[in-house]
Amino acid sequence: MPASQSRARARERNNVLNRAEFLSLNQPMKGTQETRSSSRKQGGQAGLAPTQNEGTKERRQSQQLPEEDCMQLNPSFKGIAFNSLLAIDICMSKRLGVCASSASSWGSARSMITLLGITGHGVPWIGGTLVCLVKSSTLAGQEVLMNLLLALFLDILIVAGLQKLAKRRGPYDVHPGLLDYLTMDIYAFPAGHASRAAMLSKFFLNHLVLAIPLRILLVLWAFFVGLSRIMIGRHHITDVLSGFVFGYLQFRLVELLWMSSNTCQMIISIW
């Protein structure tokens, strides 16, 4: 028995197919089987992945499209209110633009309405204030006129800056005049003439002693200056109303920056 066992072992050793490098030809190793099975699974998953991604994309689109349509068809309450007020403002401003052109219903009165608007322009007021300042001989008068000049310059700068930011056009295609370009009053919001008229009327009511009829006429003048800008088609109603508000705020700003008599005399001596 020991001799037969030794012979069998010798045969196995001499058998070339029993070597390690030839075992893979007869029996595939476990690692290769696992890699093949894993590659097959990955291939199957890769084939399913695009279809799954396409399915999810279609589902998302089907869920988002109705919502987007609803957002377009049903805007928010604030958007509806704002658009409604804007439409009313444009409609009413166009109806009040009775002097927008010579062919309008009040086209014959356009020159008179334009002249009324010029009374609220910045260039005549600045020129008149400078003339009065040169002819003034009292310290109190010079103090009031210097602060009035400061208010006029602040009004031009603030209104021009706000108009550059808003860049709103008027209800009619009315080109600005030469005086409007000088004061940079090109756009519609806010109305520069209205803000200037409101600021000047408040300034005179506070710093000049006027009779009651003159006070009433001053307030009516500011109102009709703003109305004239709507009638010639240069501004909307909201532009004029906002101009009145900004004019009052500019008056409050001038009151805070009020220059004393000594400061005014120092500035006049530099001139």
Please report which confidence band the pLDDT of residue 191 belongs to, taking 50, 70 and 90 as the band edges.
very high
Residue 189 and residue 98: Cα distance in Å, rounded?
20
> Is the pLDDT reported for residue 20 higher than 80?
no
Name residues whose C-beta falls within 8 Å of residue 180's C-beta, 6 or more positions apart in sequence.
121, 186, 192
- Catalytic residue set: 193, 235
> Is the pLDDT reported for residue 159 higher than 90?
yes
Neighbours of 173 (CB within 10 A): 9
**Residue for token pair 């928010």:** 76
N- to C-terminal Cα separation, the chain: 137
Closest Cα to residue 100, out of 87, 86, 114, 88? 114
Which pLDDT does position 268 carry in this prediction?
Answer: 83
Residue 199 and residue 218: Cα distance in Å, rounded?
11
- 0.85 surpassed by pTM: no
> Is the pLDDT reported for residue 206 higher than 90?
yes
Strand residue runs (E) in the chain: none
**35 — phi, psi (to 5°)?**
-65, -40
Q: What is the DSSP string of 25-91?
A: HHS--HHHHHHHHHHHHHHHHHHHHHHHHHHHHHHHHHHHHHHHHHHHHS--HHHHHHHHHHHHHHH
Looking at residues 198-227, what average pLDDT do you find? Answer: 94
Closest Cα to residue 121, out of 183, 173, 198, 203? 183
**157 — phi, psi (to 5°)?**
-70, -45
**pLDDT (tens digit per residue) in 62-106:** 454 444 444 455 567 778 888 888 889 899 998 988 888 888 888
Please report which confidence band the pLDDT of residue 255 belongs to, taking 50, 70 and 90 as the band edges.
very high
Closest Cα to residue 170, out of 74, 100, 69? 100
Domain locations along the chain: 122-270
Which pLDDT does position 71 carry in this prediction?
Answer: 44
Lowest mean pLDDT of 96-110, 120-134, 143-157, 238-252, name the range.
Answer: 96-110
Query: Which is higher by pLDDT, 51 or 180?
Result: 180
Residue 222 and residue 200 in contact, taking contact as beta carbons nearer than 8 Å: yes
Residue 100 and residue 120: Cα distance in Å, rounded?
18
